[in-house]
Structure 1
Amino acid sequence: MSERYDEPDRAARAFNAAVRRLAELGIGIAGSRALRVRGRASGRWRSVVVNVLTVNGRDYVVAPRGNTQWVRNARAAGRVQTGPRWRRRDVRIREIPDADKPELIRRYLDRWYWQVKGHAGGLTPSSTESEVKRIAASIPVFELAG
């Protein structure tokens, strides 16, 4: 596990807050969903917006910015809530081992690179397999296990 964390700047935080509010109302933009997780120190619920990647009927969330606060909180809690305010689902999460991440990261980049370029450890959709494997440890990936 890597400690890389590309912290968002003020503009990115403002944009993400707007998209998160829409997701909490049930309006997803390009696959975005609201995700809530309990803070590991405060115990208070924290909300973020994530892109949910579905592969073979399974849902995954990827943290291209690295070891973010929501990632640390999710690891500690082992559970998250997804969906809009009136239909939240409580789900267990399972962190994907580094060896199993490259295909998921590649699919994520194919779909959302336009959103995360510059924040995926230098990866692009055309990155080689060895580049993806080298960076995979710094990109947390979780399966949402209903």
Structure 2
Amino acid sequence: MTTSRASHYRRPGLPTLLLNRIVRWVNGRGIGLAGSRTLAVRGRTSGEWRTTPVNPLEFDGRRYLVSPRGHSQWVRNMRAAGGGELRLGRKAEAFTAVEVPDADKRELLRAYLRRWQWEVGAFFDGVGPDSSDEELLRIASSHPVFRITPSR
């Protein structure tokens, strides 16, 4: 991880908090809105499960989690726990996670924005799927990415 912008985080406003509750409720009933899932990861201090809605990305046969808001609590917990669960209804898929270095994020961020810009584009400082490689690399340190692999 590059630490130059490691403190970057955009706190969710009330509309986002309400939307997250709705998405979590819908996911809990087995419906993944536009592919969303509920991420569950153990708290780095409490050890208790913490949950938040996420938009998993499938790219070149692998799965990733991208933090559009930056270095959030789930990111910090994931770094400490090294994995978690993606939940949808009664199904929970356990996984391990490895953080992707900033230099390797360019095409992942491009693919993520291609798929999810309509929902999260406001958090990427005007950078979109058609932005230059340099612009994507410029914001890479502000958006942690984890490659996730199912636990067996």
TM-score band by shorter chain is over 0.9
Aligned 8 A contact 2:10 2:70 in 1: yes
> Are residues 122 and 3 of structure 1, via their aligned partners in 2, closer, same or farther at CA, if it must alter by over 3 Å?
farther
Give the drift of 1:78: 0.6
Separation in 1, partners of 2:14, 2:46? 23
Is residue 92 of structure 1 aligned with residue 96 of structure 2? yes
Q: Root-mean-square deviation (CA), in Å? A: 1.2
TM-score where L is the length of structure 1: 0.94
Is it true that 1:52 corresponds to 2:77 in the alignment? no
Q: SS at 1:21's partner residue? A: helix
CA contact (8 A) 1:38 1:45 kept: yes
Q: Deviations over 1:49-97 (max 9, x none)?
A: 1111111221111001100111111111111111224211211001011
Question: Unpaired runs of 5+ in structure 1?
Answer: none
AA at the equivalent of 2:140: A
Once the two structures are superposed, residues 4-26 of structure 1 have per-residue CA deviations (whole angstroms, 9 ceiling, x without a partner) of 00110011111011111211222
Structure 2: how far apart are the matches of 1:68 and 1:122? 20
Report how many residues are paired: 146
Matched, 1:40 2:48: no
Could you tell me which of 64, 71, 74 is aligned with 2:75? 71
Runs of 4+ in 1 over 3 A off after TM superposition: none
CA contact (8 A) 1:93 1:144 kept: yes
SS class of match (2:50): strand
Query: Which region of structure 1 is more displaced relative to structure 2, 118-127 or 99-108?
Result: 118-127
CA distance, structure 1, for counterparts of residue 42 and residue 125 of structure 2? 26
Q: Residue 104 of structure 2 aligns to which amino acid in structure 1?
A: D
CA distance in 1, matches of 2:12, 2:30: 24
Contact 2:31/2:89 (8 A) holds in 1: no
Query: Percent identity between the aligned chains?
Result: 45
Aligned match of 1:106: 110
TM-score when normalising by structure 2: 0.91
Equivalent-residue separation in structure 2 for 1:44 and 1:65 (angstroms) = 22
Gaps of 5+ in 2: none
